[in-house]
Amino acid sequence: MKLGILINEGPYQHQASDSAYLFCKAALEKGHEIFRVFFYHDGVNNASRLTEPPQDDRNVVLRWSKLAETHHLDLVVCVAAALRRGIKDENLAPGFRISGLGQLVEAGIQADRLVTFGD
């Protein structure tokens, strides 16, 4: 099954990003394809390389970057939502890219299912 993923919440304010990450990891392990992961609203904060969690806490941003590298995932950050939150190309974590809402629409069209995490 080809999946599109939409994440609307930040990495440390809500469980949505953790749940989405674990969902994607499990889906990939089961042989499913992730067409695209789209970060929208506060979800764009998952892409900031400026995030520095304490050493004894999980690094959500780094987990997304590593998953993208390992599985060649397309991690897209909404440009309008990112700019509102001060996120630009120069402070994106590895594996993320900024683009427009058309990428979310395309994911909805191309994927068999679009799974949303967060409000």
Active-site residues, by number, are 78
* 115: β partners: 5
For 53-90, letters b (16+ CB in 10 Å) and e give eeeeeebbbebbbebbeeeebbbbbbbebbeebebeee
